[in-house]
């Protein structure tokens, strides 16, 4: 059976600042999808990570389907009305357009989708990140799909040893999707050269050498749409696992470094990425940047119950490590690498300060 998995997520309001959506708006989104999606969907799952709500859907209508995208958009519109009634912070924040126009891409919500023929056993992982950018997944995907130090299956499993094809997007280009396809292991160094720049180059998708979709990431940059800072991009990701793809444990282990990513307070800092339990809220410094992971199997379009992949004593140890790394970076305040480069701050208030100061500079004449 050929099935499509679609994830569409948005920040439409939260309690106490950028902390967590109210249960009322989560329920509103669930109820809308359940009522209006009955004839469209095989199954669905609604969850929150930080202040974002994500809708995971299975269906047979393919990618970029107008009905599926409109279903999610209208669910978020309904939820926004509840958020406004409750006086929640940032009500409708990610809905950057006033009306639906056929596809949520370019309208604010993040979206990632994959279409494939189901295997007899079809396990997959659904990742949702908050207070960070799409490039946060660059290093984990490189480690999981290209580095045998992380993924021994690249050495031990013949099908994995063939390598993979990375599709990388230049998200600084705003006139369209500017992409390049590079293969492993042939282009390993070229891939690394691009993925070191999380702000500009991001993994959009990964395929096996046989053409099977393995992973897909939402690549929306909100400031490219709004022309100003309206919140961090908070990417979602789907990864198929086992058999022809890395094992679940290999993919999860790629998140065990607590690597530094762009985000945190006002989306303007370098902070370590913390793997968190499902339905986790933000806290310290509007973060730290976080990622959750729900594990599923899908069969004939129907989901099993979700399992919390980061709810294990091992990840408690890592969360302590990430907390330490976050605190150590914050001790630098605004200085040096603690904050993102100017290119990522150009949509924030610091630009106005620098414009005012620029007029005060003068060139000293040599005597």
In this structure, are residues 60 and 2 in contact, taking their beta carbons and an 8 Å threshold? Answer: yes
Clarify whether residues 107 and 180 are in a common domain.
Answer: no
The pLDDT assigned to 102 comes to 87
Q: In the structure encoding, which two tokens stand for residue 142, read together? A: 């490189």
Strand (E) or helix (H) holding 142: helix 138-146
Clarify whether residues 226 and 349 are in a common domain.
Answer: yes
Residue 363 in any domain: the answer is no
Least confidently predicted of 96-100, 295-299, 329-333:
96-100
Mean pLDDT on 40-55: 98
Q: Which residue has the higher pLDDT, 367 or 225?
A: 367
Q: Which residue has the higher pLDDT, 177 or 307?
A: 307
Clarify whether residues 237 and 336 are in a common domain.
Answer: yes
Among candidate residues 137, 143, 129, 214, the one with its CA nearest the CA of residue 169? 137
The pLDDT assigned to 22 comes to 98
Decide if pLDDT at 151 tops 70: yes
Q: In the structure encoding, which two tokens stand for residue 310, read together? A: 């980061």
Mean pLDDT on 274-289: 96
Q: How many CA atoms lie within 13 A of 213 on its CB side?
A: 22
The pLDDT assigned to 232 comes to 65
Clarify whether residues 111 and 165 are in a common domain.
Answer: no
Clarify whether residues 97 and 156 are in a common domain.
Answer: no
Q: Which domain holds residue 74?
A: 1-115
The domain spanning residue 25 has which CATH number?
Answer: 3.30.70
> Which one is catalytic: 137, 142, 229, 347?
229
Rounded CA gap, 287 and 308, in Å?
A: 20
Residue 361 in any domain: the answer is no
Q: How confident is the model at residue 252 (pLDDT cuts 50, 70, 90)?
A: very high
The pLDDT assigned to 199 comes to 92
User: Mind listing the pLDDT tens digit for each residue in 307-321?
Assistant: 999 999 999 999 999
Decide if pLDDT at 296 tops 60: yes
Residue 364 in any domain: the answer is no
Contacts of 17 (CB under 8 A, 6+ apart): 89, 286
Residue 365 in any domain: the answer is no
> Which one is catalytic: 232, 234, 260, 325?
232
Residue 146 in any domain: the answer is yes
Decide if pLDDT at 39 tops 80: yes
In this structure, are residues 171 and 202 in contact, taking their beta carbons and an 8 Å threshold? Answer: yes
Rounded CA gap, 315 and 176, in Å?
A: 39
Clarify whether residues 166 and 97 are in a common domain.
Answer: no
Q: How confident is the model at residue 162 (pLDDT cuts 50, 70, 90)?
A: very high
Q: Where are the beta strands (DSSP E) in 11-70?
A: 43-49, 52-59
Residue 147 annotated to the active site: no
Rounded CA gap, 285 and 207, in Å?
A: 36
Residue 359 in any domain: the answer is no
Mean pLDDT on 299-303: 98
Clarify whether residues 206 and 224 are in a common domain.
Answer: yes
Residue 50 in any domain: the answer is yes
Clarify whether residues 305 and 340 are in a common domain.
Answer: yes
Clarify whether residues 100 and 248 are in a common domain.
Answer: no
Clarify whether residues 122 and 109 are in a common domain.
Answer: no
Least confidently predicted of 41-45, 169-173, 230-234:
230-234
Q: What is the mean pLDDT of the chain?
A: 94
Could you tell me the pTM of the whole model?
A: 0.95
When divided into structural domains, the chain yields a total of 2
Residue 237 in any domain: the answer is yes
Q: Which residue has the higher pLDDT, 23 or 230?
A: 23
Angle between helices 188-195 and 138-146 (to 10 degrees): 170
In this structure, are residues 122 and 241 in contact, taking their beta carbons and an 8 Å threshold? Answer: no
Rounded CA gap, 197 and 224, in Å?
A: 17
> Which one is catalytic: 11, 43, 130, 234?
11
Rounded CA gap, 6 and 125, in Å?
A: 13
Residue 229 annotated to the active site: yes
Clarify whether residues 337 and 194 are in a common domain.
Answer: yes
Clarify whether residues 29 and 162 are in a common domain.
Answer: no
Boundary residue ending a domain (84, 115, 146): 115
The pLDDT assigned to 346 comes to 59
Among candidate residues 282, 288, 283, 291, the one with its CA nearest the CA of residue 310? 291
User: Mind listing the pLDDT tens digit for each residue in 83-113?
Assistant: 999 999 999 999 988 889 888 988 889 999 9
User: Mind listing the pLDDT tens digit for each residue in 48-72?
Assistant: 999 999 999 999 999 999 999 999 9
Boundary residue ending a domain (57, 89, 115): 115
Rounded CA gap, 302 and 217, in Å?
A: 22
Residue 362 — φ and ψ, nearest 5°?
Answer: -140, 155
Which residues partner with 128 through β-bridges? 236, 292
Boundary residue ending a domain (90, 115, 140): 115
């Amino acid at each position: 059976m050929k099935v499509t998995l679609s994830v569409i997520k948005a920040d439409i309001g939260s309690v106490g600042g950028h902390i967590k959506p109210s249960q009322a708006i989560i329920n509103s989104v669930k109820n809308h999808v359940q009522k209006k999606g009955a004839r469209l969907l095989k199954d669905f799952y609604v969850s929150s990570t930080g202040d974002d709500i994500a809708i995971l859907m299975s269906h047979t209508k393919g990618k970029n389907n107008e009905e599926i995208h409109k279903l999610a958009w209208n669910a978020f519109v309904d939820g926004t009305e509840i958020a406004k009634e409750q006086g929640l912070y940032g009500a409708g924040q990610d809905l950057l357009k006033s009306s639906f126009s056929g596809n949520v891409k370019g309208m604010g919500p993040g979206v990632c989708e994959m279409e494939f023929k189901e295997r007899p056993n079809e396990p997959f992982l659904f990742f949702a990140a908050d207070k960070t950018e799409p490039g946060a997944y660059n290093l984990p995907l490189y480690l999981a799909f290209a580095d045998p130090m992380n993924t021994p299956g690249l050495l031990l499993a013949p099908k994995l040893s063939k390598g993979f094809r990375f599709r990388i997007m230049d998200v600084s280009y705003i006139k369209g999707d500017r992409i390049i396809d590079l293969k492993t292991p042939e282009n390993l160094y070229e891939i690394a050269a691009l993925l070191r720049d999380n702000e500009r180059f991001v993994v959009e998708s990964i395929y096996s050498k046989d053409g099977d979709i393995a992973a897909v990431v939402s690549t929306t940059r909100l400031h490219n749409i709004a022309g100003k800072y309206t919140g961090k991009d908070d990417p979602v990701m789907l990864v198929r696992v086992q058999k022809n793809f890395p094992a679940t444990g290999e993919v999860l282990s790629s998140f065990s470094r607590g690597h530094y990513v762009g985000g945190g307070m006002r989306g303007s800092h370098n902070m370590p990425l913390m793997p968190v339990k499902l339905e986790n809220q933000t806290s310290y410094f509007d973060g730290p940047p976080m990622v959750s992971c729900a594990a599923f199997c899908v069969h004939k379009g129907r989901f099993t119950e979700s399992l919390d992949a980061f709810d294990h004593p091992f990840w408690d140890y890592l969360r302590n490590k990430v907390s330490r790394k976050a605190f150590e970076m914050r001790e630098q305040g605004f200085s040096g690498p603690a904050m993102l480069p100017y290119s990522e701050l150009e949509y924030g208030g610091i630009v106005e300060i620098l414009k005012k100061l620029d007029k005060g500079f003068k060139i000293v004449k040599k005597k």
